[in-house]
Structure 1
């Protein structure tokens, strides 16, 4: 009987150590949506690096819904997660999720989009303001000063939409472009198509459009072709489909982010935090303008 008890005790002890080790090695990544190639690439970069470093990575999809995002984080706080990497659905709304993680003493890293509330250890993202300027300057080079241009904005309230718009506005002012129409299309290809159809009807003399991501740019491209027009179309993100459209001459350019690198760096930062190292508050990821 004593022998059996000893064996059982050893088994229970081993199980507890196994659980503790598993919890220690678990990171979580909450993504705004996986219905977007950019964020799928970000997820892939994080998964690859987590596997390389020996971490278990839980990935949850918020489906562009702040309430789903909060539910995801609530779930993670009881799953022994050691670091939370989060790509916000909305820079304001995500504050509720981050505060929840703060209360559970889980360090938070934001990816691509920043957070306006809650305590974040580090933010990994491209310089969206610079990217918006790059797009605007390129458009000005192609269509000239004073030209009428359009803008498809991303999801209102996200730092990416705000910052890309800010950078584009700077280039518009510097190059004296005339923005005759600017509307949100929520970073979505179908919405980009629908909004662009309306903008083209209202502003038939527009010469170019800046879409704050490639998905909207590709939607805009469909609208432009259906209308039998030729516009300079510039996207943002450098997704596979976006780059293909540029190389085939259908889009003029895309400001390329490196989503896989953002995911990879996020995991690397998580490791440093767990190792007790200090990390920068903001970590910029390089951009490049892709043209034919």
Structure 2
């Protein structure tokens, strides 16, 4: 019996050594990372969540996430629940700016470091446990859109003048606020370009179509020169409404944002003038920032992801759009 027990013990020890030698799947977790996602209403958000989970798990962390379903009150509740789990890091992608203002204070009180991604929050990244804001420079995105608007209206009207409609994303969200700042920064130099009306699409295709249908009733042919959409999904819905209404006067005088396959295809089809990327990939950058912060290294309070603009104004531009569509399809995605 004693010999048998010794044999079993020896086999168990050998098994443990072999399992440990198989790699990180059996290594101890570095801790729990908790992610509060704003919504899952579009492909951008789905990709954002998947890449976030993949990056943190690959880095050796446990990962849990919640879906606020576009509701700021639910997101605050989600954050409170996640903090009770004592994660080593809280990551928040806020649905709106002001309603989520308590988040940094909640994380600080719970002694949990914070990363905010995509959209900003009130407060100062880099202080009181808020490590960094990882985002897109949406002011720059607005400027890029506005510069193309000026160029195309000048081409159409012989001068930088015209009347525009603006179909926004979520009213009150920091990208909407910042993109409008970028638009205004350019348009203040072109006083004959004016935005006559706006409508909140909630960042959805259906919302874009509904907004466009309502706005077309107030602005018949000859009364408006173009439409700015805060995202490609809403733009595609708006283009469907334009086509259904036979509004050929606005063909191609549409601007989007995100660089989706649908948006890029609309550019090739002559239905949209321009789009600029809003990359949804913050996971890998977040891991690097957190690991550097843990190691006592200097990290930037605001980190911007890279992006690219797309149009078909020249043969080279058109070729790049076609190439980007193929790149996205090879990755098996349709967004950004």
TM-score range (shorter-chain normalised) is 0.7 to 0.9
Does the 8 Å contact 1:92/1:117 carry over to 2? no
**2:46 match:** 40
**Normalising to structure 1: TM-score of the pair?**
0.86
2:135 to 122, 125, 128: 125
Equivalent positions of 1:16-165 (< 5 A) are 22=29, 24-117=30-123, 120-144=130-154, 145-165=160-180
Alpha-carbon separation, structure 2, partners of 1:56 and 1:240: 32
Alpha-carbon separation, structure 2, partners of 1:70 and 1:178: 37
Alpha-carbon separation, structure 2, partners of 1:61 and 1:246: 32
Alpha-carbon separation, structure 2, partners of 1:121 and 1:108: 6
**Normalising to structure 2: TM-score of the pair?**
0.75
1:220-241 deviation line (CA, Å, top 9, x unaligned): 1111111111321111122333
1:198 to 203, 214, 231: 214
Does the 8 Å contact 2:133/2:301 carry over to 1? yes
Computed over aligned residues only, the root mean square deviation of the Cα atoms, in angstroms, reads 1.8
Alpha-carbon separation, structure 2, partners of 1:70 and 1:169: 32
Equivalent positions of 1:181-220 (< 5 A) are 181-204=197-220, 205-220=223-238
Q: Which runs of 5+ in 2 are unaligned?
A: 1-27, 155-159, 313-336
1:60-84 deviation line (CA, Å, top 9, x unaligned): 1111111111121112112231111
1:72-97 deviation line (CA, Å, top 9, x unaligned): 11121122311111111111111223
DSSP 3-state at the match of 1:191: helix
Post-superposition shift, 1:117? Answer: 4.1
1:220-270 deviation line (CA, Å, top 9, x unaligned): 11111111113211111223332333334332221112212x332123222
Does the 8 Å contact 2:91/2:117 carry over to 1? yes
**1:18 match:** none
Does residue 247 of the first structure (1) align with residue 268 of the second (2)? yes
**2:318 match:** none
Larger Rg: 2
1:145-178 deviation line (CA, Å, top 9, x unaligned): 1111111122222111100011112222223312
1:222 to 208, 215, 240: 240
Alpha-carbon separation, structure 2, partners of 1:264 and 1:250: 35
**1:238 match:** 259
**1:11 match:** none
Count how many residue pairs are aligned between Structure 1 and Structure 2: 270
DSSP 3-state at the match of 1:266: helix
Alpha-carbon separation, structure 1, partners of 2:259 and 2:228: 14
Does the 8 Å contact 1:151/1:179 carry over to 2? yes
Alpha-carbon separation, structure 1, partners of 2:35 and 2:267: 31
Alpha-carbon separation, structure 2, partners of 1:206 and 1:53: 51
**2:18 match:** none
Alpha-carbon separation, structure 1, partners of 2:261 and 2:105: 35
Does the 8 Å contact 1:211/1:236 carry over to 2? yes
1:273 to 283, 289, 293: 293
DSSP 3-state at the match of 1:259: coil
